[in-house]
Amino acid sequence: MISFPFALAAVLALFSIALYNPSSTVPSTSSFPTTNGIPSRVLLLTAHPDDEAFFFGPTITALNSLEDVTIYSLCLSVGDGDGDGEVRTKELERSLDVLGIEEGRRRVLDKVGLKDGINTLWDASLVAESVLPFVLEHNITSILTFDNQGISSHPNHRSLYAGTHALLAHPSTPRTIQAYALLTVPLPIKYISFLSSLQAKLDIFLAHNPFVRFFTQQQGDIGVPVPVFVAGLQDWTRVVRAVLEHWSQMKWFRWLGVVGSRYFWVNEWVEIRRAT
């Protein structure tokens, strides 16, 4: 009879193997920046210091491993809702160091009209006008930001989605720029921790399995229709290290996020399309 300790060790070993390597998939119909031989200059557009680590880690670590992709960071506020903007700005610098976004490729704004506020929607035109100079200066080819639900429904997050729409419509914005929004998932699966990694890897495997693809296409469901990035164990560890640089923000509920948040493991993206 197999002993309980042996069975437990075997299960833990299988979990470790399944979680160890990162995984990703980008549909052939997507123009999401990948290794296609064309250099990509990707802007991560965030609202507050710590957004980059709490929500976008799997994508940052994945893109940083690609030779043809350079990542930039633009944060539209210093996060001074509680009067600690200077502290949070320094924490952001250290977090970006951990994530591999170097000085010269990152900027933090502190503008009237773009102040950290849990009840404040930022004006979309102001967001667009604030982002455009950075986009033009660094010849940005793709923009990554929040979707219209903002992951946590924070109005500043949601404002970036509307602002990116306005930016794409701006006459000075190059027509070649693409933009993508991080998909907000339903609450029941938002806090399933590493299980989200296993689920996403299984979805990716099934979507690329010829037999499964043939069957699902007959049913009208091709599976994994969006770009997906799944962190491996080393990536997850780096993301946690980046989060811990934001020590001033580590209230008790933040620790629940570190332990349970899907966004430490999985990012899924949808394109923000220009208005026609």
What pLDDT does 39 receive? 81
CB atoms within 10 A of CB 139: 12
pLDDT for the residue numbered 224: 46
Task: Write down the pLDDT at residue 194.
Answer: 86
Closest CA to 85 of 113, 116, 52, 45: 116
CA 123/CA 246 separation, integer angstroms = 27
Position 16 scores a pLDDT of 56
User: In the chain, which residues have pLDDT < 50?
Assistant: 8, 11-12, 211-224
pLDDT of residue 213: 47
pLDDT at 33: 74
Instruction: Identify the residue whose tokens are 């399933």.
Output: 192
Predicted pLDDT at 123: 98
Q: What residues does each domain of the chain span?
A: 38-188+227-253+267-271
Hey, is 75 helix, strand or coil? strand
Q: What is the pLDDT of residue 7?
A: 52
State whether CATH 3.40.47.10 applies to domain 38-188+227-253+267-271.
no
Give 101's contacts (C-beta < 8 A, 6+ positions apart).
44, 52, 60, 64, 71, 72, 73
Q: What is residue 34's predicted lDDT score, i.e. its pLDDT?
A: 65
- The distance in angstroms from the start CA to the end CA of the chain is 67
Distance, in Å, from the CA atom of 78 to the CA atom of 230, rounded to the nearest integer, reads: 29
HEC-encoded secondary structure of 153-194:
HCHHHHHHHHHHHHHHHCCCCCCCCEEEEECCCCHHHCCCCH
Rounded alpha-carbon distances, angstroms, from residue 233 to 15, 87, 240 = 11, 29, 11
pTM: 0.89
Output the CA torsion 184→70→232→182 (10° steps): 0
> Which DSSP symbol is given to 73?
E
